[in-house]
Structure 1
């Protein structure tokens, strides 16, 4: 694998988990090692303190010399160079245990009672001449020999133990600790790999389904996916459906255009073959050309309106509406139509700017065409759904004659005008209907309660 090639998700997660696991095991091992060492030193302190207490129960001779116990608290005190040493520091001398014969130990000083010290490791010279280390515990005491206060004198007991036994314990513990931690780390890494493979199985299933869709084995992805992958599957299915609809729309548009042009072309061919007078032929050619121009304009408009994107940046409605209204007020200046806005602040259209222009333009132009003096444009948020952007409601009311309920379906048909005396191609409302269908919305035409004319209401559902 080259350095520039990105790692897979499984490799990334396994690497991150491995680094985290190694760091955790290292910190845990260090913490356990320190805890064991502190515990061992504490046990050593307690043991040396008990040895000092045993020597503190000993007596002193009349001349002030120390009389050791008949049985030392540990046999090692009677074995030279054993690693466990005792020293009694007196005001005018000191006493050393038999084990101190041979090694060179650090000199202790007299401590005030009841002072205690625990030092180490201190450097010593062992009986074989090698340099070693030892811990030293000291306790300051006062001996009271009788009722005479002058017989009291201070003394200090020192207990020394080399680090051989403690180092051996620590070494054994560390060996066992890192062996067990290493084994646990390998097992955890194996489990982590299995868990990652199991957790990434839904992603591999998504990839397999995409490959099946690409090969044409299936038409869409299944809906049984983990909750985190449901938006991805829904988006991919939506892309597939939109692409399929766009392809079908393009095919239908070309087919409809070809079918629509066949009749005018056939009429022209027949008139040419009939050798009709030139004036009559010119009139027929003009009529059929205008008819073909209307058909081409309609099909191009429908094709342009069919390619809206699934994910689009939100578009503010009010600026587009104001621009359209200003243009329409100039076109219909003779009628003096006034357009009012009832637009919720911040309401937006989730789609292509061209679709918004077609939708508002055709609805407003139709309202201006039939209104007597007033038009009302309403825009506010529509329905909401979890994990989706809110829908949209757009309505255009006019105070014109209105549309009888039985003629609503007729008016929405392609090429049909509500009144043949009014100029137009009869495709504006059909474009609106096609746009609304493309956005999975609903177009409702009814009487206007506010202005008394017609009300064209568009409801667009929530989108991804």
Structure 2
């Protein structure tokens, strides 16, 4: 079953991304809501101010003995006496009342455009408020009402205006201060949240590092102190590692017991074969040796199957290959053996004896058929296409090759060579199981085996095997 990744691969990055996104969205929404609430409050306060000033003007004006409007409203705001400010008051007689209109000194000789009652109707308090522009281009809000001034029914229209730019300036100033404050608070919150998240997830990182130590065979179980939420997981992993180790040890013990129990009967058969005539002796000895090799091969497969998924399987490539090449040089002093390993710290996720048996078989075959020498290489490789996803894509792969300058094999011979017990050259010693054993070991470790004709004319056997994560990448 393949686990699909959703979102960022890092849990820390995922939590930080969600927390940052939520905090940013929350701060933006809060700033907009507060700004709008402040705008509504400022506009309502501005309207109330104009209403209060309107009634102050009404209370300050009367009709004189000469039937003129008289009064000098004192509104306590110098802007009503400064020209072109947008703050005005105007009193106009209505109906048959033929008095002259009076206004604040700030208005001068100009006037304010007044919409019709249909465009801006009066409310139930017989007031109306409407925005307009004065002769100087100021955007103003006008408060208007009509009042009867005496018992004779003479009435006048009262209007007081205020500059809306003052409200907008106040709102902009408040919003700017609000955004700065929320921005500073938001950045501080993100930093604190990030530190809290990093601190809270630190035990998971410690568990990951401890598990990597187990993978590199530097520790036998997860070590360290973990919080209550992670401790059950750490205990389960340790229990799994211990169970895996017991399975491997039990499989090794059973393999050893079986090998030991078969060793004596096979040795007896080989010894008794010497007492027979040559034809029968050769036949019995050949079959006993084949049986011995096949039993060992199946025992190896059982052992590999038991330990293949072990987290502790690890073999450094360079020292193993150097030892094998050194032995082959002693056994074949007339042949040259060349070794190249890159990077120097490369390691395989295989048991050492499996590496030795695999490369040892290939070296024996190459030494047997080569003319002058054998070339052994190991290098970091990319994952094969069928393993480019999931866990296989996360680990490095090692490409190992053994090449000789012998006669080589054609494609049909290569197909026959990997079959169990098949020998293409009966004049050479052997049981015909070497390449078959190599193929089985590589297959059990989910690797790949490919045999082609090399550039030197001989057989090139290429293995693609799983490597270790840290040492190979370095």
- The TM-score normalised by the length of structure 2 is 0.50
Tell me, yes or no, if the aligned pair for 2:42 and 2:167 is still in contact at 8 Å. Answer: yes
Q: Structure 2 unaligned segments of length 5 or more: list them.
A: 1-5, 277-291, 311-474
Tell me, yes or no, if the aligned pair for 1:49 and 1:137 is still in contact at 8 Å. Answer: yes
Per the TM alignment, residue 216 of structure 1 is displaced from its structure 2 partner at its CA by 2.5
Q: How does 1:255-266 map to 2 (within 5 A)?
A: 255-265=256-266
Per the TM alignment, residue 209 of structure 1 is displaced from its structure 2 partner at its CA by 0.4
Per the TM alignment, residue 115 of structure 1 is displaced from its structure 2 partner at its CA by 0.9
Per the TM alignment, residue 76 of structure 1 is displaced from its structure 2 partner at its CA by 3.1
Per the TM alignment, residue 124 of structure 1 is displaced from its structure 2 partner at its CA by 2.3
The 2-side partners of 1:256 and 1:306 are apart by: 15
Per the TM alignment, residue 219 of structure 1 is displaced from its structure 2 partner at its CA by 0.8
Deviates more, 1:72-81 or 1:102-111: 102-111
Is 1:95 equivalent to 2:66 in the alignment? no
Is 1:183 equivalent to 2:184 in the alignment? yes
- Structure 1's 51 and 263: CA in aligned 2 closer, same or farther, altered over 3 A? same
Q: Which of 23, 44, 47 is matched with 2:46 structurally? A: 44
Indicate the residue corresponding to 1:423 in structure 2.
none
1:331-355 Cα shifts (integer Å, max 9, x gaps): xxxxxxxxxxxxxxxxxxxxxxxxx
Give the SS at the match of 1:135.
strand
Q: Which has the higher contact order (CA 8 A, sep 6+)?
A: 2
Give the SS at the match of 1:26.
helix
Indicate the residue corresponding to 2:470 in structure 1.
none
The 2-side partners of 1:257 and 1:186 are apart by: 68
Per the TM alignment, residue 248 of structure 1 is displaced from its structure 2 partner at its CA by 0.9
Q: Which of 115, 120, 127 is matched with 1:116 structurally? A: 127
Per the TM alignment, residue 24 of structure 1 is displaced from its structure 2 partner at its CA by 1.6
Indicate the residue corresponding to 2:172 in structure 1.
171
Q: How does 1:447-458 map to 2 (within 5 A)?
A: none
Indicate the residue corresponding to 2:139 in structure 1.
133
Indicate the residue corresponding to 1:212 in structure 2.
213
Tell me, yes or no, if the aligned pair for 1:81 and 1:102 is still in contact at 8 Å. Answer: no
The alignment's C-alpha RMSD in Å is 4.2
The 1-side partners of 2:309 and 2:103 are apart by: 96
Per the TM alignment, residue 250 of structure 1 is displaced from its structure 2 partner at its CA by 2.0
1:408-456 Cα shifts (integer Å, max 9, x gaps): xxxxxxxxxxxxxxxxxxxxxxxxxxxxxxxxxxxxxxxxxxxxxxxxx
Tell me, yes or no, if the aligned pair for 1:135 and 1:162 is still in contact at 8 Å. Answer: yes
The 2-side partners of 1:62 and 1:264 are apart by: 146
Tell me, yes or no, if the aligned pair for 1:89 and 1:156 is still in contact at 8 Å. Answer: yes
Indicate the residue corresponding to 2:12 in structure 1.
10
Q: How does 1:417-436 map to 2 (within 5 A)?
A: none
The 1-side partners of 2:217 and 2:73 are apart by: 99
Give the SS at the match of 1:140.
strand
Indicate the residue corresponding to 1:106 in structure 2.
113
The 1-side partners of 2:74 and 2:270 are apart by: 137
Give the SS at the match of 1:125.
coil
- Structure 1's 114 and 63: CA in aligned 2 closer, same or farther, altered over 3 A? farther
Indicate the residue corresponding to 1:61 in structure 2.
64
